[in-house]
Structure 1
Amino acid sequence: MDECRFQEPLFTFGVIADVQYADIDDGYNYTRTRKRYYRSSLQLLKNALDAWRGARVPPLFVLQLGDLIDGFNKAHGASERALDAALRGFDSFPAPVHHVWGNHEFYNFSRSALLRSRLNSRQHADSSPGSAPARPDIYAYRFTPVPGFTFVVLDAYDVSLLGREESSEEYRGAMELIRRYNQNQDLNCPPDVKQRFTMFNGGFSQEQLDWLDAVLTSADEKQERVTIVSHLPAHPDSTDAVCLAWNCEELLAVIGSHKSVVCYMAGHAHDGGYHRDEDTGVHHLTLDGVIETSPYSDAFGIVSVYADRMELKGSGRVMDQLFLFS
């Protein structure tokens, strides 16, 4: 460990989740059991950006894991204004920012609007063929910051009631799927079994899963290390059951069929979580959310990447974590 302490990382990157900024007074979550700090979340985002700028090894990029602004902005006619405020710090940041889309993005904007917005960071994708799914409405892509390491951004609301036109085939298919498991009048109310089938979650289409399978097959052949990021957690031991992606089992099956995946990172569940899958060796990290973090604390991290591991150095609520590669 003494030798590890003095090793220089190959590169570092910043990570943050669920800022959910809104210029409104503090409130509570859906069940009114946890406090949410809407206005001060912008200062906590600034704290993260300042820390990354001042890091001994500056991050090559930042992963923003979704829900950058809160859905309450829509009701106040403040979606664009809130997004501008949240992105202002990122605009001057000296490294690329990869934005993941969460449910609160879709509370504020349609899918077509998000594809035209500054939250579409697909310009940072690899320029090689197959770096994104063939369907342009699926917000997923891969990027390679340094040789041997690939990151994949997944669209967890590709199959969803959120962001889709009610007259569309995609909406009808998502409604049919959720109604198989959730018969509640309010679809944001979880069913007793398979609680993840709520309106605030979503899933991955077969087209996206097939594309991911092809990306991972290529990474296997090149002996690359792959980190996958999305808004919704995939492993049931890394989060509460109500926060999982609809078809998490299918995603885990794709991940488990490849040796290249080392880590899956998500947000959505504000109290965080971690699990290492013993069968695959994949680390599943659910990052603590800024929105439920006191103004006197923090919730972000910086990850140092080495040839044999990644080390998460957390700030505030985010705990340190070691991700050894199998």
Structure 2
Amino acid sequence: MEAVPRVAFGVIADIQFADADDGHDFGGSRRRYYRHSLRLLRDAVRAWAAESPPIDFVLQLGDSIDGLNARRGEAEGALRQVLEALGRLPVPVHHAWGNHEFYNFSRARLAQSGLCSRPAGGAAGPPDGLCQAYHCSPAARLRLVVLDAYDLSVLGRDPDSPRYQESLRLLREKNTNEDLNSPADHLPIHPDASDRVCLAWNYEAALSVIHSHRCVVCVLAGHLHDGGYCLDSHGVHHLTLEGVIETPPESNAFGTIYVYEDKMILKGRGRIADRVMQF
């Protein structure tokens, strides 16, 4: 192993904090530790801040607060606590937007919040100003692309907007679930890194774009709280992180990824295992 990585960054997903007693998932069978998730985030921040050499940035892969906050009128306060915890880091934090962000906030609100993390000089995605997609270069010969997996969605959109109507047409065409609020069919983009319940509908198109560029080495995602991994037929690593929200208080679920010339090494904590991903 080289003495010093080209870049190192923290990764965490599905914090889903709410100042609420423990609950359960959509199906009622999996325990969710709403209040403890903030403590686990703070533990992760302390670990990242103590790393030597220091990390360069952190990826927060979506669902930072739980949709429960919207029903309790506590969305702003919950988000403030999560951002305060991450704000103790001396490095940038790149945020993805997940479904729970949109249960709590409109896109317009998110675009004005601390979860809008496009850096100065970072190239933007679609021009409506309400999309989180962007790319930037945190180190030489390394490009980070943050995708907005809910860009085409009724979540967070004004019902009168063309984007909402386009999304509604797609939803009616694709959603075969009796319960329209069922989580089935939507966010990792490779079926072997997902349980196929959490798979993006247009994953084949997304993979086609990724495979057309030989420079892509890894796709990171959240949303599937059990996590997942595969190395696809084009040599691209697909890593889905275990979710903090379903992590018992005595454990954790975060990691640090070290990028070298020929590989990425994941040092996992708690539920997240160590992994070497060769290029």
TM-score range, shorter chain: over 0.9
Please give the alpha-carbon distance, in whole angstroms, between the structure 2 residues aligned to 1:136 and 1:296: 41
Q: Cα distance 1:259–1:125, how it changes in 2: closer, same or farther (>3 A)?
A: farther
TM-score, structure 1 normalization: 0.83
Q: Within the alignment, does 1:169 sit opposite 2:162 as a pair?
A: yes
Matches within 5 A, 1:112-131: 112-122=108-118, 124=119, 126-127=121-122, 130-131=123-124
Does 1:258 pair with 2:213? Answer: yes
Q: 1:185 to 1:312 in 2, by over 3 A?
A: same
Alpha-carbon contact 2:34-2:245 (below 8 Å) kept: yes
> Is the CA contact 2:45–2:88 (under 8 Å) kept in the aligned structure 1?
no
> How far 1:125 sits from its partner (Å)?
5.1
> Alpha-carbon deviation of 1:185?
4.7
Match of 1:292 in 2: 246
Match 1:47 to one of 13, 32, 43: 43
Q: Shift of the alpha carbon at 1:136?
A: 2.2
* Ranges in structure 2 where 5+ consecutive residues have no aligned partner: none
1:217-296 correspondence runs (5 A): 232-278=187-233, 280-296=234-250
1: CA distance, partners of 2:145 / 2:116: 14
**2: CA distance between counterparts of 1:284 and 1:91?**
28
The CA deviation string for residues 135-182 of structure 1, in whole angstroms up to 9 with x for no partner, is: 422221111111100000000000011001122221111111121132
Is residue 15 of structure 2 the alignment partner of residue 60 of structure 1?
Answer: no
Letter in 1 for 2:50: G
Q: Does 1:317 align with 2:271?
A: yes
Residue identity matched to 1:126 = G
Out of 147, 166, 174, the position equivalent to 2:140 is 147
Check whether the contact 1:11–1:57 (CA below 8 A) recurs between aligned residues: no
1:16/1:301 contact within 8 Å kept: yes
Considering only aligned residues, what root-mean-square deviation do their CA atoms show, in Å?
A: 1.4
Tell me the equivalent position of 1:102.
98
- The one-letter code sitting in structure 1 at the alignment partner of 2:155 is L
SS of the equivalent of 1:323 reads strand
Instruction: Give the secondary-structure state (helix, strand or coil) at the position aligned to 1:156.
Output: coil
| Structure 1 counterpart of 2:26 | 30
Q: Which runs of 5+ in 1 are unaligned?
A: 202-231
Confirm or deny: 8 A CA contact 2:12 2:241 kept in the other structure.
yes
- Compared with structure 1, are the counterparts of its residues 102 and 116 closer, same or farther at alpha carbon in structure 2 (3 Å cutoff)? same
| Aligned CA distance change for structure 1 residues 189 and 131 (closer, same or farther; 3 Å) | closer
Determine if contact 1:126/1:142 at 8 Å carries over to the other structure. Answer: no
Give distance in 1, aligned partners of 2:21 and 2:110. Answer: 26
Higher mean displacement: 291-300 or 243-252: 243-252
User: Aligned partners of 2:158, 2:18: CA distance in 1, in Å?
Assistant: 25
Question: For 1:7 and 1:292, how far apart are their aligned partners in 2?
Answer: 35
- 1:157 pairs, out of 143, 147, 150, with 150
SS of the equivalent of 1:303 reads strand
Q: Report Cα offsets for 1:110-149 as digits up to 9, x if no partner.
A: 0110001111001x2535xx55443422221111111100
CA distance in 1, matches of 2:181, 2:168: 13
Aligned residue type for 2:99 = N
Deviation track 1:22-80 (CA, whole Å, cap 9, x = no partner) reads 00000000001110000000000011001101112211000000000000001111000
Other-structure match for 1:13: 9
* Residue equivalent to 2:171: 178
* Separation in structure 2 between the aligned mates of residue 182 and residue 12 of structure 1, nearest angstrom: 39
In 2, Cα distance between the equivalents of 1:242 and 1:147?
37
Query: Partners of 2:147 and 2:176 in 1: how far apart?
Result: 28
Q: Is the 8 A contact 2:111 2:129 kept in 1?
A: no
Change (3 A) 1:33 1:125: farther
How many residues end up aligned between the 2 structures?
279
Instruction: Look up the equivalent residue of 2:246 and give its one-letter code.
Output: E
State the alpha-carbon separation in 2 of the partners of residues 27 and 149 from structure 1. Answer: 40
- The CA distance in 2 between the partners of 1:116 and 1:55, in whole Å, is 31
